[in-house]
Amino acid sequence: MATKTDTATVTGAEVRSEGPIKRSGNSHVNLNGFSAPQPLAPIRTHRKKKYRHVAAVHSKPRTSCLSHDAESTPSFLGFRNLMVIVLIVGNLRLMIENFKKYGVLICIRCHDYQRQDLILGAALYFIIPCHLFLAYVVELVAAQQARRSLRSNGKKRSGTATPGGSYVPSDEERQKFHSTWVLVAWVHGVNATLCLTITSVIVYFFIHHPLIGTLSEVHAIIVWLKTASYAFTNRDLRHSYLHPSNREEDILPEIYQQCPYPENITLGNLTYFWWAPTLVYQPVYPRTKKIRWVFVAKRMAEVFGLNAFMWIASAQYAAPVLRNSLDKIATLDLSSILERLMKLSTISLVIWLAGFFALFQSFLNALAEVMKFGDREFYADWWNSPSVGEYWRTWNKPVYQFMKRHVFSPLVGRGWSSGAASIFVFTFSAFLHELLVGVPTHNIIGVAFIGMIAQLPLIWLTAPLEKMQGINGRIIGNCIFWVSFTLIGQPLAALLYFFAWQAKYGTVSRKV
Amino acid sequence: MATKTDTATVTGAEVRSEGPIKRSGNSHVNLNGFSAPQPLAPIRTHRKKKYRHVAAVHSKPRTSCLSHDAESTPSFLGFRNLMVIVLIVGNLRLMIENFKKYGVLICIRCHDYQRQDLILGAALYFIIPCHLFLAYVVELVAAQQARRSLRSNGKKRSGTATPGGSYVPSDEERQKFHSTWVLVAWVHGVNATLCLTITSVIVYFFIHHPLIGTLSEVHAIIVWLKTASYAFTNRDLRHSYLHPSNREEDILPEIYQQCPYPENITLGNLTYFWWAPTLVYQPVYPRTKKIRWVFVAKRMAEVFGLNAFMWIASAQYAAPVLRNSLDKIATLDLSSILERLMKLSTISLVIWLAGFFALFQSFLNALAEVMKFGDREFYADWWNSPSVGEYWRTWNKPVYQFMKRHVFSPLVGRGWSSGAASIFVFTFSAFLHELLVGVPTHNIIGVAFIGMIAQLPLIWLTAPLEKMQGINGRIIGNCIFWVSFTLIGQPLAALLYFFAWQAKYGTVSRKV
């Protein structure tokens, strides 16, 4: 605001009311610009200037504030406000245009949930957790065997106890533990994979509606991961139990002492793990003291509201764009496909952000509150990611922690390089993503798989940007993340799976 | 980034390479998130952890960063980057859509400049400044009379000299000065208004092309304002010359001492004022020492480039929207008009911003450089205006300074209230705006007039927002400014004048 300078230079046209200036700190706004408080000045009589038309408006050289030789760069906050306004107005216009073209596309009564879908979906909902129960039984047996092995009915064990309190197993014991573990691992593996396979087969061949299919598939994958975590963690706990050690690198986390192996192998403990909002098994979790039911109610209201929003947005805004793209894809009209992709990207971004919030912020927090689960860090501020790698580390912490603890870390421990272990993690993740998207849509076209694998070169490309001095590297990396992921990747994948579905089935919702 | 917390809590899965930790300050990036430099630690041997599957991922209660009970609000800079990207992608898409619909609408060869327009435009370009020369002649005569009056051929003057060095005029002298001034004022008034009237009549009835007409009208208005400033300033200087005074409120600005009245009444001095990038006359201006021709060349290149951009944007993006709106306006289809207005607002905003920069930053700076004119503050950071009033004080400083010095300030000096003086200023400005827009488009429909008058309630409404504590009041005021001015006001005015033109003449450019 240049008005202060004006006050200094305009010597002939100060417009003050007639009469003496009082000592004042009042702010004084009038239309000629004196909006700053008057500086405290000695009391003196001040008569109005006589010659008003001679004010020296230009009395010293000044630069324009956008010139390169300006003393200081001006703020551009006003343009940030303008950007938000233009975004809102532009999208409101698209909404008006959509309404004029299509009217209201939302149809609460019409749905294509077939009876079979609902029955099978419900059945799977109850069948899938049984595999987790089976895993518990396996661990119970293994724990009992471990207990017996340790008590040994008085018979001395064949290993050596060290002076520091550790126990070094003999070769025979080591062999026995290993063969036990192999058996346990096989049973767990078959159990969990059976669960996933049965679910996938049922969803692929018998459940038509992709939403019910996706929910079942997600449930099966979660149980698969939890079973794996349960098995691996208990293996290590059992090993530590059988071969106690005081060495620093063998010490178990302090929090586990509240429930040492094998006291954690109980149905109650497993049930808690079954429902807890995490994929990594721990005998003990940090807990909160009480359930805030108002908090839970608010979070569930958010879940409901956001789901309604997503459903409306999909039906009213995403579906028409997807449908209008079909012939362009069929004729490979590239510029039109690009245009459709750009139009789809805004709405798919909005739906995805809503979905992220509904799942990771609202639903998981509600679940954690009901379970009195203490650690609510389900995500970090991934939207600020200066690189694609940082995004994958922060947006979905449950999965990230699982991969780090049960896949990445053990591989590196076995001598794999960090890069090789990452490739393995992303390949595994790509496989799961393809199951998650391809099976419920009955088109395993490999787009989700390739999409995940393609993250690796992007991670490698943007990793240096994280470490760069100054803020520009981080901004560029952030932009690369947004463009590749939300403006190319997601809408393209959505378009391709939608196209594949249409190619297989024809129309999927109410005709326009 | 929660990875530092992870390092603290994950006690069992630190993935470091085998072997001792060296004292290190290296930054170390791997895919499990350790991207911070390792803290300096004493040298110790660190063997890999044995039990990788038992890492205590959850060891203490934490909140989600978007929860209300989070310790600190996360940064949202990533979303600012996203906003920019979405804006760019959205408008790129509209450009692709426009191209597919209309192809290239820019036509360099086709123009509708009639021969008569060009001849009359050129004639006016030379005729208009003659009125400024006439004003100089009037002032010259007045100055000569003042000199004679002061020398008085030895005869004593009838007023009284005070001990302090001032001179108090007698009633006879006061009367004579006043009647001289009335005559001078009338001649100036007739001269300047004749200029404006002749130009307006020629433009309205004889110059078809609105662009040539607008340039002529702007020229005439500028000369009118400069003549007024020249007359008023010299009147006060002459009064001070004839009635010298040492009182504080009668003192002239220091910078004028370099060229005291009546030495400033020369053709050279007037010519400088004629070309100087200001509307307020001063006998002396702050000057720069030399002309940076590279600077001038760069600024003219900007002017040229921006004009080309504006022409392309108007022909390719604004014209189709305007044309498509005609039938909607004719049938008063309000929702469609609203939709068209919103679509027009983005492109009109862009064209206006380009025009602002081309005129106030590039052209005026180039002119000032060539004239070695020192004060380049042609505008302040108006985009940050926290109120509509602040905008009008900062976006066009030449006009604002003129109004303040020659209209507002004298009125307040006569006893008008600040509010009444503002109403007068805006009414006067509204009249000029209507001349500027209505005359070249041959449709004096009053929209520009009403638009300027309507600023007064907006100024009154947003003035309190300037003074509010904290930043929210300023942001709201800024948004009200943007929405009312650039998203409603301008596109609406453009639409209405375009509609009026079409109603009068039919199509104006190449048919699509």
- B61 vs A172, residue with greater confidence: B61
The number of residues making up chain A comes to 512
Q: Which two tokens stand for residue A182?
A: 């192999």
Distance between B121 CA and the closest CA of chain A, angstroms: 31
Q: Which residue has the higher pLDDT, B24 or B72?
A: B72
B189 in a domain, yes or no? yes
Q: B55 vs chain A: nearest CA distance in angstroms?
A: 7
Please name the residue of chain A whose CA is at the shortest distance from the CA of residue B231.
Answer: A53
Model confidence at A108: pLDDT above 70: yes
The verdict on B382 and B471 lying in the same domain is yes
Give yes or no: residues A300 and A260 share one domain: no
Tell me: pLDDT of B146 over 90: no
Q: CB-based contact (8 Å) between A372 and chain B?
A: no
Q: Which of residues 165-184 of A touch B (CB under 8 A)?
A: none
Q: Cα B205 from chain centroid?
A: 30
Chain B's closest residue to A87, CA to CA, is B87
Q: Is residue B325 part of a domain?
A: yes
CB contact under 8 A, B31 and A389: yes
For this complex, say whether ipTM is above 0.95. no
Answer whether residue A162 shows pLDDT above 80: no
What is the rounded CA–CA span in Å between residue A126 and residue A185? 24
The pTM (predicted TM-score) of the whole model is: 0.80
- Please check whether residue B62 is in contact with residue A375, taking contact to mean a CB–CB distance below 8 angstroms: yes
Q: How far is B101 from chain A (nearest CA, A)?
A: 11
B393 touches chain A (CB under 8 A): yes
Per DSSP, the residues of B17-30 read -SSPBPP-------
Of the pLDDT bands very low, low, confident and very high (cuts 50, 70, 90), residue A268 is: very high
Residue B30 sits at the chain A interface (C-beta within 8 Å): yes
pLDDT for the residue A512 = 40
Q: From B350, which residue of chain A is nearest by alpha-carbon distance? A: A86
Do residues B415 and B409 touch, judged by C-beta distance below 8 A? no
Give yes or no for A59 touching B (CB within 8 A).
yes
Query: Least CA distance to B256: which residue of chain A?
Result: A56
* Token representation of residue B67: 């929860």
* Distance of alpha carbon A223 from alpha carbon A128, whole angstroms: 7
Q: Taking 80 as the threshold, does the pLDDT of residue A446 lie above it?
A: yes
Q: Residue for token digits 């509209």?
A: B94
pLDDT, residue B153, reads 46
Q: From the CB of residue B447, how many other CB atoms can be counted at a distance below 10 Å?
A: 21
Distance CA B106, CA B319 (A): 10
Any domain includes B260: yes
A130 domain residue, yes or no: yes
- Answer yes or no: do B57 and A278 touch at CB < 8 A: yes
CA dihedral B257, B260, B265, B266 (to 10 degrees): -60
Distance of CA A457 to the CA centre of its chain: 21
If one compares A43 and B468, the residue with the highest pLDDT of the two is B468
A300 shares its domain with A434: yes
Please give the span between the terminal C-alpha atoms of chain B, in angstroms, as a whole number: 55
How many CB atoms sit inside 10 A of residue B440's CB?
24
Q: Work out the average pLDDT over B389-416.
A: 93
DSSP type of residue A37: P
Do B299 and B448 reside in the same domain of the chain?
yes
Taking residues A187-211, report their average pLDDT.
90
Q: Note whether B293 and B192 are same-domain residues.
A: no
In a domain, B245, yes or no: yes
Of B325 and B374, the structure prediction assigns the larger pLDDT to B374
Q: How many CB atoms lie within 10 A of CB A320?
A: 17
Query: Would strands B167-168 and A167-168 be described as parallel, antiparallel, or unpaired?
Result: unpaired
A368-422 pLDDT, tens digit each: 999 999 999 999 999 999 999 999 999 999 999 999 999 999 999 999 999 999 9
Chain A window 291-330: which residues touch B at a Cβ cutoff of 8 Å? Answer: none
Q: Which residues, 6+ apart, have CB-to-CB distance to A348 below 8 Å?
A: A318, A486, A490, A491, A494
A498 Cβ under 8 Å from any chain B Cβ: no
Residues B409 and B300 in one domain: yes
Residues of B in contact with A32 (CB under 8 A): 393, 404, 408-409, 418
Is B510 in the A-facing interface, judged by CB distances under 8 Å? no
**B83: alpha, beta or left? (left if phi > 0; alpha if psi -120 to 50):** alpha
What is the model's pLDDT at position A473? 86
Q: Which segments within B358-414 are labelled E, that is strand?
A: none
Residue A331 in any domain: the answer is yes
B77 interfacial to chain A (CB closer than 8 Å):
yes
Residues in chain A with CB shorter than 8 Å from the CB of B254 are: 56, 59
pLDDT at A12 over 70: no
- Asked if residue B243 is part of any domain, the answer here is yes
Average pLDDT over chain B, rounded to whole? 84
Any domain includes B392: yes
- pLDDT score, position A47: 53
> What is the token pair recorded at A377?
């860090």
What string of H, E and C letters represents the secondary structure of B221-253?
A: HHHHHHHHHHHHHHHHHHHHHHCCCCCHHHCCC
pLDDT above 80 for A72 = yes
Please tell me which residue in A111, A208, A433, A442 is annotated as part of the active site.
A433
Please tell me which of the candidates B339, B394, B401 has its beta carbon nearest to residue A97.
B339
Burial grade of A163 (CB within 10 A; 0-12, 13-18, 19 or more): exposed
Q: How far is A205 from chain B (nearest CA, A)?
A: 36
Residues in B 331-370 with any Cβ partner in A closer than 8 A:
335-336, 338-339, 342-343, 345-346, 349, 357, 360-361, 364-365
Single residue among B275, B310, B343 that ends a domain in this structure:
B275
Residue B383 pLDDT more than 70? yes
The two tokens of residue A204 are 């692929």
Residue whose entry in the numeric block shows the structure tokens 């005709």: A511
What are B167's strand-pairing partners?
A: B161
Q: Please tell me which residue in B188, B209, B219, B433 is annotated as part of the active site.
A: B433
Whether residues B259 and B300 share a domain: the answer is: no
Residue A42 pLDDT more than 50? no
Using CA atoms, how far apart are residues B59 and A411, in angstroms rounded to an integer?
23
User: Among the listed ranges A225-239, A303-317, A333-347, B163-177, which one has the minimum average pLDDT value?
Assistant: B163-177
- Catalytic residue list contains B433: yes
For residues B313 and B258, membership in a common domain is answered with no
Same domain, B442 and B394: yes
Which residue, B263, B265, B124, B292, is CA-closest to B195? B124
The verdict on A295 and A257 lying in the same domain is no
Residues of B in contact with A15 (CB under 8 A): 408-409, 412-413, 418
In angstroms, what CA-CA distances link A507 with A110, A285, A289, A504, B348?
A: 14, 48, 51, 9, 41
Tell which residue, A257, A274, A163, has the closest CA to residue B11: A257
Q: How confident is the model at residue B290 (pLDDT cuts 50, 70, 90)?
A: very high
Q: Are B412 and B328 in contact (CB under 8 A)?
A: no
pLDDT at A148: 84
Burial status of residue B302 (CB atoms within 10 A of its CB: 0-12, 13-18, 19 or more)? middle
B455-468 average pLDDT score: 88
The Cα A280–Cα A231 span in angstroms is 10
Using pLDDT thresholds of 50, 70 and 90, give the confidence band for residue A155. Answer: low
Average pLDDT over residues B448-452: 91
Domain boundary among A226, A246, A275: A275
Which chain B residues have a beta carbon less than 8 Å from that of A51? 236-237, 239-240, 250, 252
Domain count across chain B: 2
Asked whether A458 and A388 are in contact (CB, 8 A), the reply is: yes
Q: Which of A345-354, B40-49, B93-102 has the lowest mean pLDDT?
A: B40-49
Task: Tell which A residues from 448 to 487 touch B, by Cβ distance under 8 Å.
Answer: 459, 463, 466-467, 475, 478-479, 482-483, 486-487
A1 compared with A180, residue with greater pLDDT: A180
Q: CB-hemisphere CA count at 13 Å for A231?
A: 26
Last residue of a domain, one of B275, B300, B319: B275
Q: Do A85 and B483 lie within an 8 Å CB cutoff?
A: yes
How big is chain A by its Cα radius of gyration, in Å? Answer: 33
Q: Is A355 found in the same domain as A249?
A: no
Q: What mean pLDDT do residues B363-379 have?
A: 95
Domain range for B135: 115-149+166-275
What torsion do the CA atoms of B480, B485, B488, B489 make, to the nearest 10 degrees? 140
For chain B, how many residues are written? 512
Please tell me whether residues A264 and A344 are part of one structural domain: no
